A and B are shown apart, each in its own frame.
Chain A
Amino acid sequence: MTTAPADTPPNEPGRPRRGGARLLRRRLAPYTLIAPTLALLGTFLLFPIGTVLYDSLRHDNPTEPWDNGFAGLDNFRRLLHDSTFWSSLAFTGKWVVLEVALQLALGLALALMLNETFVGRSVARALVFSPWAVSGVLTTSIWLLLYNPATGVLHYLSRLGVGSPSTAVLSDPSTVVWAAVLAELWRGVPFFAILLLADLQSIPKELYEASSVDGAGRTRRFVHVTLPHLRDAVVLATLLRGVWEFNNVDLLYTLTGGGPAGQTTTLPLYVAQTARNSYDFGYGSALTTAAFVILLFFCIVYLRLSKFGEER
């Protein structure tokens, strides 16, 4: 988007004119620029959050209208004694830790490999990163095909003598968690790989050359140059991904629906079920508030680690 300099009016700002109006315009400029953002976030994010906090203190269930109204801390008392809340929270924790740890390990390995120079590297990158663009529902569709006992990959493997025939991994309580974890890994690893590869490429080559001259081998260079440089990116990516996996709904919702027998129900899934199936909006809001409190903790750690406020 270029404009010919010839049509610039002679008194365009750039050299001092009457001070007051210009100064005011300068002062107001950043606020004008962020105004649309503030309007959007205020209306569709902050206001709804306020509603959730308020509703968590109310009985709000259209199927029990006689009970509706302000309820104080009733919902939270109920929450403390709700075993489904605790079991869904426990599974959420397990899910987040498994996903983040495995994605980080595999993502780092991939980033290191894709950072080397070899013929076909850009093709390899595009291939390996591509599942990242795929949504939760699409991931589900793909893995449903793969996991299908009659026609899936396992069926073919069993014909080759690997594994037992017709294992329904998604309805077997002993395998369902791992089946879901694997499907999510498939699309989650590229996130770490992309981010860490980007960070690897920002390491100055001189650092490696210097440490080579000093006689450091491959391992020492990795430990003393690569790892320290990656630390910030690893920490931030881990935290962000942890929160995203905490909030991940679409994959589990469509792949397992939280089953079998609530085995793969995360806290957000439990909230969705409470609101959608039993219309208990007050209690759903209390569950959401509990999730907010947990996420707030992550938020504080994140802000600390991202050194918020220092030089921005």
Chain B
Amino acid sequence: MSAAAVRTTRRRRSDGRMLRLFVPLAAYTLFTIVPFYWMLLFAVRPDGSTSLVPWPLTRRNFVTVWDTLGYSVFVRNSVLIAVITLLFVTVVALMGGYALARFRFAGRKAFILMLLCTQFVPGAMMLIPLFTVFKSLGLIDSRWSVIIAETTFQLPLAMILMSGFIRNVPMELEESAMVDGCGRIRAFLAVVLPLLRPGIVAVGSFAFIGAWNNFLFALMFLDDPTKQTIPVGLSSTIGENTVDFGALAAGGVVAAVPVVLVFAVVQRFLVQGLSAGAVKG
């Protein structure tokens, strides 16, 4: 092929790519970004402005949200709940996932069946009976109720994912460590755990995002406003008769920034991990 011919084919190929790939992708990216932009716009734009470019910037909405609407407290509660849930889910999912990936034991099938079926339990419909359970445990109005409920509902999927990740670590690595004199636990900690880092990051960030976003459990089990979380704070801004859109947007930004950041960092691991076969877990 002559150089000119190569150039023409290339150009034709890139025209095709424009139509097939970049135009629809740009359209979809716009659909993704505009809502985020709108929220940011309302959060930093001075009251009464209708400009689509937020200039001059104002901090006023954030000050309102942080000081008057109690977000400084909500953020602390949300961080606390999300981090403890992350730790619980990750540790328990590691234990259970290891059992599923490495042991054959009586009742294993029934256990997996139970994990799969819990995916079909509507969390919203469990609120009343869960309320009764927490009440009898004296955990109503305690942040532990949200942590425990969130951990319980996230655990099955986290465990299935984690066992997929563990299964992808060759058993021989552990066996050779054990032949070298390590115990099972030490072999796991020294050999398997470092290789599981992407899996732990994926499962842990799932747990963090889920707990950070939890709305119904916090709404239902926590009455005390000093224990409330961000989503409930947001919904109470919505619920009032006259919505302060600036405050709503600023609250939204505060709620969105941590999860979107976490997600942007881990989505690479997520795709890797899922394609490593965990989907079929």
Q: What is A's interface to B at a CB cutoff of 8 Å?
A: 1-3, 5, 8, 12-15, 27, 29-31, 33-34, 36-38, 40-41, 43-45, 47-49, 51-52, 55, 106, 109-110, 113-114, 116, 118, 122, 124-138, 140-146, 148, 151-153, 156, 186, 194-195, 197-202, 232-233, 236, 240, 243, 246-247, 249-250, 254, 268, 271-272, 275, 281, 284-285, 288, 291-292, 295-296, 298-299, 302-303, 306, 308-309, 312
Contacts and interface: CB of A to CB of B under 8 A. Distances in A.
B267 A194 contact: yes
Interface string B90-120: 0010011011100101001101111011111
A130 B184 CA distance: 39
Contacts of A254: 215, 235, 238
B33 interface: yes
Contacts of A1: 189-190, 193-194
B243 to A, nearest CB: 7
Q: Is the interface of A mostly helix, strand, loop or mixed?
A: helix
Given A40-B155, A45-B118, A131-B32, A151 B50 contact: yes
B271 A143 contact: no
A128 B28 contact: yes
A298 B120 contact: yes
A127 B92 contact: no
Contact of B194 (A2, A114, A312): A2
19 contacts: A2-B189, A2-B190, A33-B95, A34-B99, A40-B92, A41-B152, A128-B25, A128-B28, A135-B214, A136-B231, A137-B235, A151-B42, A197-B271, A197-B275, A200-B275, A232-B279, A254-B235, A302-B120, A312-B112
B32 A268 contact: no
Contact of A33 (B96, B118, B260): B96
Contact of B260 (A38, A134, A233): A134
A144 B248 contact: yes
Given A40-B155, A130-B32, A246-B122, A48 B148 contact: no
B38 interface: yes
Q: Is the interface of B mostly helix, strand, loop or mixed?
A: helix
A45 B153 CA distance: 8
Contact of B28 (A106, A116, A249, A272): A106
A201 B99 contact: no
Contact of B279 (A44, A138, A198): A198
A173 B248 CA distance: 25
A202 B279 CA distance: 11
Interface of B: 17, 21-22, 24-25, 28-29, 31-36, 38-39, 42, 50, 52, 92, 95-96, 98-100, 103, 105, 108-109, 111-114, 116-130, 132-133, 148-149, 151-153, 155-156, 159, 178-184, 186, 189-190, 193-194, 209, 212-216, 231-232, 234-235, 237-238, 243, 245, 248-249, 251-252, 255-256, 259-260, 262-264, 267-268, 270-277, 279-280
A127 B28 CA distance: 10
B260 A144 contact: no
Contacts of B119: 240, 243, 299, 302
B275 A110 contact: no
Contacts of A47: 129, 133
A127 B214 CA distance: 23
B105 A31 contact: yes
A240 B151 CA distance: 19
A30 B103 contact: yes
Given A125-B267, A142-B38, A36 B95 contact: yes
A229 to B, nearest CB: 12
